[in-house]
């Protein structure tokens, strides 16, 4: 009996010690050996299923959630420095950070090495709360922000607690000024027009060892931007672009003029003169829960793909 008790004690101790050690690749089942972008989420801020939604697009998802329906976010793996970075701190940050850090095979870190925020709408910064005292109690996680975003976080609870307790370390960005992350990796904020109630809105250019990406999950309309989106697409190898709504017809309960985004059908029209090579750079992302493009077998999906564009799907990898 004494030997049995000792055996049980050994098993318990061993199990606890295993829980404290990072288990590589427990969810997606992949490692990323080259500097790359990974899609960590594709859904608009409020997720899918959407709160209060009784439409067919959410039917069944409350009882049987789709684990691939995560809020829009990119991960960045720097293979040369064994570091990871997150673009947007979403409500799904817990699983997204786990997936991202597990995909980097040469580090045991449980947290990313930096977070780049685009703006102060709920799907893009509220995940910061999990870095606080009630959760992981992070230590000086770098968070890259524009000036108004910095002021917002410093001046409003509960975010100011993260700043005051040094859970996060705010690093101020300047539009069009690159942030050097390593010898072969830099990130440049690009300001875009959006509903800037609490902060500016930026997208990011991500320059890797061999390729460059543009990430703009939110913008009001392409024609409102001082830059020419056609020319910006030509400058990069990948363009992850706002595709919140397909045509607007799916929004029959709210005034879509109050939540402007470039409709996918508008983007298809604007981009139609692009050469096939340029069209293939476009990766649509940030889909509202009503967007038919979420269904890989929908007519909307077939239309987008037949015209030479790509659709972001979770865990897709784009080597830089």
Q: Please, what is the average pLDDT of the chain?
A: 86
d(CA 294, CA 285) in angstroms, rounded, equals 10
Give phi and psi for 9, each to the nearest 5.
-60, -45
Residue 158 confidence class, pLDDT cut points 50, 70, 90: very high
Per-residue pLDDT reduced to its tens digit, 73-101: 999 999 999 999 999 999 999 999 999 99
pTM beyond 0.75: yes
pLDDT top residue among 263 and 179 = 179
* pLDDT at residue 4, as a whole number: 38
Check pLDDT > 50 for residue 144: yes
The structural domains of the chain, ordered by start, are 23-319 (3.60.15.10)
Q: How far is CA 47 from CA 67, 69, 115, 150, 248, in A?
A: 11, 7, 20, 25, 18
Check pLDDT > 70 for residue 243: yes
* pLDDT at residue 256, as a whole number: 61
Secondary structure class of 244 (helix, strand, coil): coil
Per-residue pLDDT reduced to its tens digit, 195-217: 889 899 999 999 999 999 999 99
pLDDT top residue among 108 and 274 = 274
Check pLDDT > 50 for residue 253: yes
Strands (E), the chain: 36-41, 73-78, 83-87, 115-116, 141-145, 168-172, 179-182, 185-191, 202-207, 212-216, 238-242, 282-285, 310-311, 317-319
* pLDDT at residue 250, as a whole number: 65
User: Which of 62-66, 206-210, 238-242, 287-291 has the least mean pLDDT?
Assistant: 62-66
């Amino acid at each position: 009996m004494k030997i049995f008790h000792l055996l049980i004690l050994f098993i318990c101790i061993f199990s606890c010690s295993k829980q404290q050690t990072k288990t590589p690749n427990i969810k997606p089942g992949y490692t990323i050996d080259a500097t790359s972008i990974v899609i960590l989420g594709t859904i608009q801020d409020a997720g899918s299923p959407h709160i209060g939604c009784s439409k067919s697009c959410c039917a069944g998802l409350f009882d049987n959630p789709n684990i691939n329906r995560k809020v829009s976010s990119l991960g960045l793996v720097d293979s040369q420095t064994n570091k990871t970075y997150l673009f947007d701190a979403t409500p799904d940050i817990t699983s997204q950070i786990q997936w991202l850090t597990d995909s980097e095979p040469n580090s045991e870190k449980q947290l990313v090495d930096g977070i780049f925020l685009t703006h102060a709408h709920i799907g893009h910064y509220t995940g910061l709360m999990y870095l606080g005292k009630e959760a992981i109690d992070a230590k000086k996680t770098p968070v890259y922000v524009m000036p108004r975003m910095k002021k917002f976080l410093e001046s409003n609870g509960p975010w100011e607690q993260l700043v005051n307790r040094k859970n996060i370390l705010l690093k101020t960005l300047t539009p069009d000024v690159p942030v050097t992350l390593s010898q072969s990796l830099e990130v440049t904020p690009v300001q875009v027009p959006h509903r800037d109630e609490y902060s500016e809105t930026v997208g990011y250019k991500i320059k890797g060892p061999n390729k460059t990406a543009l990430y703009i999950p939110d913008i009001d309309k392409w024609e409102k931007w001082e830059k020419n989106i056609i020319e910006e697409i030509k400058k990069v190898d990948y363009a992850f672009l706002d595709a919140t709504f397909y045509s607007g017809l799916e929004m029959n309960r709210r005034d879509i003029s109050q939540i402007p985004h470039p409709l996918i059908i508008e983007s298809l029209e604007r981009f139609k003169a692009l050469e096939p090579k340029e069209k293939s750079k476009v990766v649509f992302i940030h889909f509202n829960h009503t967007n038919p493009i979420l269904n890989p077998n929908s007519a909307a999906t077939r239309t987008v793909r037949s015209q030479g564009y790509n659709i972001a799907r979770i865990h897709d990898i784009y080597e830089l």
